[in-house]
Structure 1
Amino acid sequence: MRRHTIRPLAALAATGALALTGCAADDGTAGEGTSPGDGGRTLHAQRVMQLTQVHPQTGMTLLEGPTFDEEGRLLVVDVTAPAGEPKVIRVDLDEETAQPLHTDDRGAYTSAQFSPYDGRLYLTDFAGGAVVSLAPDGGDPHTFFSGDVDGAPMNPDDLAFDPEGNLYLSDSRGMREGEPLGRVVRIDRDGEEATVLADGLAATNGISFDAGYDGLWISELLENRISYLHLDAEGGVASRHTAVHVDGGIAQTDSIAVDADGNLYQALHGRPAMLVYSPHGEHLATVEIPAGHQGLESATNVAIVPGGTTAYLTVSGPAGGYLYSFEALAEGTRQSNGG
C-alpha cells in the first residue's frame, strides 16, 4: 500500500511495519525574523535542489545523513531507496549536480559519517542491524559490525565518531509493553567490541558529541527530549540527565548536529523545521521552510560546511527529497555533520 505520509522508522519497527522493499530553482529568500512565543530567531531556509522523488516500490523517499567528503562534496543517504536505486548520493554543491555513489539489494541506511581513523564512509543499516563501510568513492563495501549486543539485536540509526575513530551509535529500539528499549552503543574502531553505554531510552535517534568531546547529546524520538551523557576518560558514561524538553507537537526529535560554539541543531520528523538550542538549553532559533512549499513533511538532518556557516538541511515528503540551505549560528566542525 502506498504511504502518503512519512512515519518514523523507529515507530515502524516497533509495530513490525517496517517493510522496505534534477535541480529546482527557488524564489524564496533566506533571512531572519522573530520566532513567536519565546523570542528565538527564525532562520528561513532556501531551496537548493531536488535530489529524489517518491519511489513507487516503497511509496516514499527519506533523505538523511548529510556529511562532507574531503573534497567538499556533500553525501546523503536515501533511507527508503529500493534495490538498484541510489542509496548514497554525492552532491556537487557548486555545480548543483548529483550522482549515485552506492546501491545494493539490502540496506536501509539512516546515517553516514567518515571515520577519522581510516577515512572510510560508515553507514548505519537500520533494518539489517549492521554498520557497513565503503571506500570514499563508494566501492569496496564490507560489513564492519553486525549481530546482537548484550543479547539483543540493534536498530542502529545515527552515529558519531570520537577522535580516535571509535563509533557511538543510537540504537533506535522503541517500546515493549510500555518499557523503552533504546540504547547508546559504543563500538571500538576495529569493530571487535561493542558496549552498551546507556539503555532504557525511548527510540534513541540523534547522537552527536559536544564541542569538546566531553559528552554526547542524544535525542529520544518517542519522548521528544534531548539528554546529555557525560563521558569518562575511557569513553564510558559518567553521568546522564535530561537536558532539553522539545515542544514538538505532532513532530518528533530526529537527528542532532553541533556547531563550533556548541549549539545544538535538533531536526524534526513530522515538521519541515529545525530547532537550535544553546548548550544550556536556551532556544536560540527555529529554521523554517518558506510557506507554500507543499508536500514536505520532515527536516531530518543537517550538515554545516567545515570552517564555514552555510548549512544544508535534508527535507523530505510526498513532494520528494530536497536540500535546503541556511546560515548557521557558528562554523561547522566534524560534529556538524548530522550523524
Structure 2
Amino acid sequence: MTGRRAAGGFVAAVGATVFLAGCTSPTEPAPDGTADAPRTTATQLLKVTEVHPETGSTLLEGPTFGPDGDLYVVDVTAPAGEPKVFRIDVETQDVMPIHTDDISAFTSAQFSPYDGRLYLTDIAGGAITSITPEGEDPQVFHAGEVDGQRFSPDDLAFDEHGDLYVSDFTAFPGAPLEAASLGGRVVRFDAETAEPTVVLDGLASPNGISFTDDFRGLWLSQYAANRIDLLTLTEDGKGAASVHPAVYVDAGSAHVDSNAVDAEGNIYQGFEGSPRIVVHGADGDELAAIELPAGDVAAGLSSATNVAIEPGSDKGYIMVSGAAGGYVYEFTALAEGIRQSNGG
C-alpha cells in the first residue's frame, strides 16, 4: 500500500519498470543517486480512476494477474459504494469495476492457489476478504485482532500451498512513526483453517512482502526504515529461521512501499512519495531505475507504489497515483513474471 494517511484512528494504506517500451537513454545518470544503474522511462497505458472528492485522493494498488489473463487492481481510497476492485484487459484497455462495499480500504489483492479466489487485505477494518474472479460472493477469511493486538493487513503473498503471509503495518493512532512502527509483524494464515501465526514481530511498519524465487524466504519492505529485509522461513513456514537487512534503499523523503520478484530473483521496489521504481538483484546490487515522463510527474503523479509482471512474460505494469488520478504504466522487465511477480 502506499500513501499512508491517518484517518479515523487507523493508518490507511493509501497504497510499482525496467527496460521499457518507449524508454529514454538507458545509461543516462539519474539525479537521485542512481547513476550507476540504467535509467529508463515507463509508458502510460491507461487512466483508471479520478481523485475522489469524498476522500481527496485515489490510490491504485494490489496489481495481480488472474487466471483469465486480466489485471486486477484495487483503489485504496475509494469511498463507500464506489468501485474498489477493477478488472483490466491490458490488451484492449477495457476497465471493468467488479466489487465495492461501504467500509473497506483494500490495499492488496492476490489469487489463492488453494481455492482460486481473489483475496483482499482491508487495512481499515483489520480484515482479509475473498471474492470470486467476477467480484461476487464476498467471504470474510479473517477479521479482528491477532494475538491480542490490532491487525492492520497491508500486502500479502501466498506460498505454494496457498497459505497466506501478510505484512501487518500496525501503526498506532497518535504515535510518531518511529514508535508506531514497533508493532509491525508478518502474520501467516493457514489456507484451510485461517488460523493466524505470528512469524516475526518488532518490525518497522512492514509493507511490501514477496517470496523469494525459491519460496524459502520473504523480501520485506519496511516503510518506517526504508530498507528491504530478507526473512528466511523455518521448515514449517511458521517462524523466522533468520532475518537481516538486505537492501538499504535511497528513498529520500519518500517511503518504500510494495515489492515484486521476477523469475531471476530480482526485486522491484515501489515508493510512496516518489514516482519511480528501483530494481535490485538478490545480492543487493541496484540494477535499474524506472521513472515516469517528466511531464506526467509535473501534471500531478507523485507515487509509483506497486508493480506486477505478467507470468510467463516480460510485460510489466506499474500502479501510479497522485493529484492527476490513478494510472497504469507499462514497461519491459528484466526477466519473466512468476507468482511472486504479482505485486503484494
Normalised by the length of structure 2, the TM-score is: 0.91
2:240 corresponds to 1:245: no
Tell me how far apart the structure 2 counterparts of residues 64 and 17 of structure 1 sit (CA, whole Å).
Answer: 16
2:295 corresponds to 1:292: yes
Contact 1:174–1:202 (CA under 8 A) maintained in structure 2: no
1:213 match: 215
Change (3 A) 1:7 1:96: closer
2:76 match: 79
Tell me how far apart the structure 1 counterparts of residues 295 and 9 of structure 2 sit (CA, whole Å).
Answer: 33
Structure number with greater CO (CA < 8 Å, separation at least 6) is: 2
Identity %: 53
1:53 match: 50
State the Cα distance separating 1:59 from its structure 2 match. Answer: 0.7
State the Cα distance separating 1:94 from its structure 2 match. Answer: 1.3
1:226 match: 228
Tell me how far apart the structure 2 counterparts of residues 110 and 144 of structure 1 sit (CA, whole Å).
Answer: 16
Change (3 A) 1:331 1:150: same
2:341 match: 336
Query: What number of residue pairs does the alignment pair up?
Result: 326
Change (3 A) 1:205 1:240: same
The one-character-per-residue Cα deviations of 1:143-186 (angstroms, maximum 9, x if unpaired) are: 00111111101110000000000000000023657441111100
2:208 corresponds to 1:190: no
Matches within 5 A, 1:6-21: 8-9=3-4, 12=6, 18=12
Q: Secondary structure at the match of 2:6?
A: helix
Please tell me the residue identity of whatever aligns with 2:227: R
Please tell me the residue identity of whatever aligns with 2:310: V
The one-character-per-residue Cα deviations of 1:192-215 (angstroms, maximum 9, x if unpaired) are: 311111111111100000000010
Contact 1:208–1:217 (CA under 8 A) maintained in structure 2: yes
State the Cα distance separating 1:8 from its structure 2 match. Answer: 2.7
Matches within 5 A, 1:235-274: 235=237, 236-274=239-277
Change (3 A) 1:31 1:19: closer
Q: CA RMSD in A?
A: 1.9
Matches within 5 A, 1:16-95: 18=12, 29-34=22-27, 35-36=29-30, 37=33, 38-95=35-92
Contact 2:157–2:165 (CA under 8 A) maintained in structure 1: yes
* Unpaired segments ≥5 residues, structure 1: 1-5, 21-27
Match of 1:275 among 278, 289, 310: 278
Contact 2:300–2:324 (CA under 8 A) maintained in structure 1: yes
Tell me how far apart the structure 1 counterparts of residues 108 and 62 of structure 2 sit (CA, whole Å).
Answer: 4
Tell me how far apart the structure 1 counterparts of residues 207 and 322 of structure 2 sit (CA, whole Å).
Answer: 19
State the Cα distance separating 1:30 from its structure 2 match. Answer: 2.9
Normalised by the length of structure 1, the TM-score is: 0.92
Tell me how far apart the structure 2 counterparts of residues 284 and 331 of structure 1 sit (CA, whole Å).
Answer: 15
Change (3 A) 1:137 1:17: closer
State the Cα distance separating 1:29 from its structure 2 match. Answer: 2.8
The one-character-per-residue Cα deviations of 1:52-105 (angstroms, maximum 9, x if unpaired) are: 000011110000000011111001000000111110011111111101010111
